[in-house]
Amino acid sequence: MNHRVVKITEGVEEAVVVAGQSDNSGNGANQLAFPTGVFVDQLDTVYVADTQNHRIMRWPKGATSGSLIAGGHGIGSESNQLYYPSDASLDRYGNLYVTDTLNNRVQKFVVDKSSCRANKKK
């Protein structure tokens, strides 16, 4: 199983790994566990719903490891916890919306651009 996100460019033979690792799941900053939803912003920063780690990770263009921006505090229903997140998206104001699947909710986070943290619900 490949727990990674790859970028495929038309006309290029090889895909480029932009997040995670081949054949290696985990909860380190350079690892993912069953990534699902992926969003890429206008700066080519990749946001990943890291489903089995119950977190949202962010990889700036060219980064070899990601930063935690939501969840990552174990399974739960508190405002700083996720339970199998499946998708994420940013609005034009920089708010992060996360589909928190097994909590049956969509959470909104205000992304702190200086620290890449978004664990404060607005």
Q: Where are the domains of the chain?
A: 3-110
Q: Are strands 35-40 and 55-59 parallel, antiparallel or unpaired?
A: unpaired
CATH placement of domain 3-110: 2.40.10.500
pLDDT-based confidence at residue 21 (cuts at 50, 70, 90) = confident
Q: What is the pLDDT of residue 122?
A: 45
Contact indicator for 67, 58 with CB cutoff of 8 Å = yes
Residue 42 and residue 26: Cα distance in Å, rounded? 28
pLDDT digit string, tens, across residues 69-80 = 999 999 999 999
Q: Which tens digit of pLDDT belongs to each residue from 23-40?
A: 788 899 999 999 999 999
Region 55-73: what's the mean pLDDT?
A: 94
Q: Model pTM?
A: 0.86
Mean pLDDT of 9-22: 89
Mean pLDDT score of the chain, rounded to an integer? 89
